[in-house]
Amino acid sequence: MLSLLFLAYAVIHIGIWIWGWKLWSETGRPVSLLLVLVGGTLLFYDNLRIGMGRFIGEGDLLYALSTPAFAWHWSMLPLLVIAAGSVTRQADLGWARSRFAMGAFCLVAVALSIHDIPKIFSMQLYPACLADTLRYTTAVSEFQVCPGGTVIAQTAGAEAALVAIITNIIVLGVGIALWIRRRWPWMAGGAGVMFICAGAFAGSPWSLPIANFGEICITLGLILTCAHFARLAQGPRKSPAQAMRQAA
């Protein structure tokens, strides 16, 4: 059942998130990883509310449970842009050393937030069904109309997902730079899978579960990358004996 897949996604996201906080503590609490973890706080919840929708049923309760997922996504997703900029500095990429470069990442994130945050105050959600799942969403495609429902297409798909697309491209671009300059492929790999899942399957009836799989991949890639370069910035670990000799 598709509902079980989304519930599995929720469990995976909780595990990744807890593991990410452990890495954050172990690698000197890097800002880049903090931004990724804060931005991804409700990824488990988004999958959970889809997986639980059929058990809750259509109505005010499921609607109310759905609104935090969209509000968090529209307000927190641009944090990944700043996280990507922070990683470029951790990795000591030459072009990222200037304040202008980091400022550009922050300005882009602010612009993306300005684009999406107003949606929170005009949010309208509609029931959508796919296989055995039931959820509330902003638009309903012909593949996801519930019995007795209708197609709701408020905006073109690309425009509605503009912030997610731009964020994905920026993370992918930084990931490719790290792959070329630092031989580290995981950020590019995760963002690349996300880009394919969200783009190549956009017109598919199964675009939602495929795209949510991509979210797992891009989140893993970002966490691994932030932790890796934070650990490198700390330098080689010293044994207790070495630390004592140095202190003496």
Could you report the per-residue pLDDT of 2-47, keeping only the tens digit for each? 999 999 999 999 999 999 999 999 999 999 999 999 999 999 999 9
Q: Is the pLDDT at 160 greater than 90, yes or no?
A: no
The answer to the question of residue 238 being in a domain is no
User: What is the rounded CA–CA span in Å between residue 189 and residue 226?
Assistant: 14
pLDDT of residue 158: 54
C-alpha 137/C-alpha 61 separation (Å) is 14
Residue 240's pLDDT is what? 44
Pick 53 or 95 by higher pLDDT. 53
The per-residue pLDDT for 202 is 78
Beta carbons within 10 angstroms of residue 161's beta carbon: 17
pLDDT of residue 142: 85
Tell me, what's the pLDDT at 156?
Answer: 46
- Mean pLDDT (the chain) is 90
Report the percent of the chain where pLDDT is more than 90.
75
Segment 160-180 shows an average pLDDT of: 94
Residue 159's pLDDT is 59
Q: For residue 246, is it within any domain?
A: no
Residue 81 in domain: yes
106 occurs within a structural domain: yes
Q: 35 is in which domain, residue-wise?
A: 2-233
Q: Encode pLDDT of 190-247 as tens digits.
A: 999 999 998 878 778 889 999 999 999 999 999 999 999 999 988 765 444 443 354 3
The rounded Cα 152 to chain-centroid distance in angstroms is 25
Q: Residues 52-59: what's their mean pLDDT?
A: 95
Identify which of 2, 44, 3, 4 has the alpha carbon closest to the alpha carbon of residue 20.
44
Residue 242 falls inside a structural domain: no
* pLDDT tens for each residue of 96-150: 888 899 999 999 999 999 999 999 999 999 999 999 999 999 988 888 999 888 8
Residue 167 lies in a domain: yes
Q: Does residue 243 belong to any structural domain of this protein?
A: no
CATH code of residue 144: 1.20.1070
pLDDT band at 248 (very low <50, low <70, confident <90, very high): very low
Burial 233-248 (b: 16+ CB within 10 A, else e): eeeeeeeeeeeeeeee
Give yes or no for residue 1 having a pLDDT over 90: no
Number of domains within the chain: 1
Residue 248 in any domain: the answer is no
Query: Sign of dihedral through CA atoms 172, 174, 177, 178?
Result: negative
